Structure 1
């Protein structure tokens, strides 16, 4: 470590303590340390990627609902939560989560994931049940830190209509053999729906019309045109009339994918020169038409792999979703889906944990050419200061940004270390949205959460409540749990999501006696003033804060 102070290597903690005492390292680097290899690990073994995200989100839900149920006298399942989290983290180990291990590992991992999900769902259901009382209705719980409108499936008893327990009308509709309701769910809270005698229509409704082999999905916010190949040939935002589709979007791209060294690990840069025919024998039909949701069904095959895709648009939404199932039967193939948009952006935005990374969309310089495949979490976006577009996903981590195109990586087909890796059925959903204004003005972060975190629904009723909330949109309340020390204190973890420093109020419906900022080990650092169960916090861009609350 040339240029660094000489220190005693007694251990990692002592090393950094001594380095800090010496004034820190003399040479530092700001920016992403991009690793120009193993790009395939963002995608290999899609089953693991999917289950990893499901488990992370399931544990997040368990912590929140378990915390709220504890305020009602239920026992917080601390031992089970710790044990399950350790199991989740074990399966994030190299080489399990990267998808670069042998077949036996994934047989065992899949069983472990299913066990984690089964137990966490059972514990969550128990906690949620403890928050409601018996009654003729259903309760919808939102574990996100912001309120939003969502479409929920309701029992047949709601076919005539629905309203909240407080009497607010809820738009409902029977689509096929299912009843749906469009309701607002409060931030970190619940709303109960009960049957009503009259049906209410949504203020913003969806329509689906067909003109030859072209289909038009439309609501008050967007108009999307889908052709006979299942590709989106037009996406217009009605607030501005702007056309976002530069070329057909939702186009599948299939490539030969034969890395020179490590099959499951790598994607070589020359894949782009080896494109082969992707979707064939495609048929598009109307699956369902409704004022709350309309759906197209796309069937076809990609090489030897049959697929089914449902393209849907909901009322009062700018998000077009693509729910996809594919029976993957390929070898040495790479599948992407492209969204070329009418946006000029020198850098794209890729979500990571607690923020995002900006990466080049052009390949002018050597270090830019290296980054032909990058990672993202729930979204990637291209934008200027006037408008932008984003591709969202519920379990995919690899993506390319080429000029004005976002190209989400869906599947690979490595032959080593597992022969015929990923040859199985896969289910995933991705989405497309657009907006006017800067990225800071957009709701992309929230839409990414909405697409990944679904409301919980349980029988019974409760008065509408919101347990926690945040004043500013760019600060996300990521998680709520009880403190690890068994004190009963609440731990709230928040972060600034849009690279914009801000002061915001954080409030709760619970009675707070004291509050402290603390480190991630939940150790108190500074007391924060509490007024009417509200605290005020300053956030730097992308700053993570952990708040500890002692209840009265």
Structure 2
């Protein structure tokens, strides 16, 4: 998060004379984040007071991050008109993948395709425009979707809902539990017959002395799958760029 902000702020400072790189703010944000890179904060084994302090610091960093990001006058594509969208790759290697753009004021739909020649986009269940893009390392490009080489699909077959792409296929029962997971070209089911994937499981944790660290051995014998459901599984996005279930 802060890496991306530093990168965009650097480009903005180099291309906009009126923009000042927010070094002091970024230094403070880094210190507040690194303070919580602690061996009990990261795995979640701290006491309650530590979690409260960590959450407060993280919320402050997130608020400042959003403000600094919104203040960026960033643009480094001088040949494009003001209505063009610039897609930035803030990592050091070429990336190909699906991006999501907000469509303010546009209602969502389960599935919608808009195709122009070789370009293909999709409006997802949240009303966002999905597009397949390719951008070089630490590079940028004007928004122009390219053809996705592999599509994702969601469909119902019998009592199961399926998610499928060119690499794997997964089946889910009506409670959302994964019952099958196959690598294409291999008939082996990676999900054991007597167990499920994508399932929440809870264990009893009643420490004798402290609210952290002190985990009794017997807790491994108290495994309880959570089978309560609010609604049956349904398809949100059918593809071709994103397939999802709820």
Retained in 2: the 8 A contact 1:65–1:128? Answer: no
Q: Give the Cα separation in 1 of the matches to 2:26 and 2:229.
A: 47
In structure 1, which of residues 58, 71, 83 is the aligned counterpart of residue 14 of structure 2?
71
The 1:100/1:273 distance shift into structure 2, 3 A limit, reads same
Greater radius of gyration (CA)? 1
Say whether 1:273 aligns with 2:216: no
Give the total of aligned pairs: 229
How many Å apart are 1:273 and its aligned residue? 0.9
* Deviation, structure 1 residue 245: 2.5
Q: Aligned runs of 1:371-410 on 2, under 5 Å?
A: none
Please give the alpha-carbon distance, in whole angstroms, between the structure 2 residues aligned to 1:256 and 1:222: 35
Number of the residue aligned with 1:229: 175
Question: How far, CA to CA, are the matches of 2:143 and 2:150 in structure 1?
Answer: 20
Change in 2 beyond 3 A, CA 1:128/1:272: farther
Secondary structure of 1:284's partner?
Answer: coil
Per-residue deviation, residues 178-198 of structure 1 (Å, max 9, x unmatched) = 321121232222222159xxx
Q: Find the aligned partners of 1:194 and 1:204 in 2 and give their Cα distance.
A: 18
Q: Residue deviations 1:312-366, cap 9 Å, x none?
A: xxxxxxxxxxxxxxxxxxxxxxxxxxxxxxxxxxxxxxxxxxxxxxxxxxxxxxx
Question: Which aligned pairs between 1:487-526 and structure 2 lie closer than 5 A?
Answer: none
Whole-Å separation in 2 of the counterparts to 1:162 and 1:59: 36
Q: Does 2:27 match 1:82?
A: yes
CA distance in structure 2 between the aligned counterparts of 1:125 and 1:162, rounded to whole angstroms = 32
Counterpart selection for 2:202 from 216, 229, 254: 254
Shift of 1:205: 1.6
Q: CA deviation at 1:256?
A: 0.9
Structure 1 residue aligned with 2:123: 174
State the 1:109 CA deviation.
4.2
Which runs of structure 2 are paired with 1:299-378 in the superposition (5 Å)? none
More strand by share: 1
Q: Matched residue of 1:225: which SS?
A: strand
Q: Deviation of residue 101 (structure 1)?
A: 3.9
Q: 1:143 aligns with which of 68, 90, 94?
A: 90
CA distance in 2, matches of 1:65, 1:151: 21
Summarize deviations over 1:147-166 as a string: whole Å, max 9, x none. Answer: 22232223559x85579xxx
Change (3 A) 1:291 1:95: closer
Q: Which residue of 1 aligns with 2:211?
A: 263
Residues 243/144 of structure 1: CA separation in 2 closer, same or farther (3 Å cut) = farther
The worse-fitting range, judged by mean Cα deviation, of 75-84 and 86-95 is 86-95
User: Partner residue of 1:521?
Assistant: none
Distance, in Å, in 2 between the alignment partners of 1:124 and 1:288 is 30
Assess, with a 3 A threshold, how the Cα gap between structure 1 residues 63 and 178 changes in structure 2: closer, same or farther.
closer
Structure 2 CA distance for aligned equivalents of residues 75 and 186 of structure 1: 27
Q: Which runs of 5+ in 1 are unaligned?
A: 1-57, 164-168, 298-552
Unaligned runs of 5+ in 2: 107-112
| Structure 2 CA distance for aligned equivalents of residues 146 and 246 of structure 1 | 37
Residues 228 and 122 of structure 1, relative CA distance in 2, 3 Å threshold: same
- C-alpha distance 78-273 of structure 1, shift in aligned 2 (>3 A): same
**Whole-Å Cα distance in 1 between the matches of residues 187 and 92 of structure 2?**
32
Tell me if the contact between 1:137 and 1:194 (Cα under 8 Å) persists in the aligned partners: no
Counterparts of 2:102 and 2:65 in 1: how far apart (Å)? 25
- CA offsets 1:272-311 (integer angstroms, 9 cap, x no match): 11123422236212223221111111xxxxxxxxxxxxxx
Q: How does 1:390-539 map to 2 (within 5 A)?
A: none
| 1:423 aligned partner | none
CA RMSD, aligned part only? 3.2
CA distance in 1, matches of 2:192, 2:22: 51
Tell me if structure 2 keeps the 8 A contact 1:162–1:194: no
Q: Cα distance 1:162–1:106, how it changes in 2: closer, same or farther (>3 A)?
A: farther
SS in 1 for 2:29: helix
TM-score (norm 2): 0.76
Matches of 2:220 and 2:39, distance apart in 1:
28
**C-alpha separation between the residues in 2 aligned to 1:71 and 1:220?**
42
Distance apart, 1:203 and its partner CA: 3.4
**1:170–1:183: 8 Å Cα contact kept in structure 2?**
no
Q: Does the C-alpha gap of structure 1 residues 92 and 153 become closer, same or farther in structure 2, counting only changes over 3 Å? A: closer
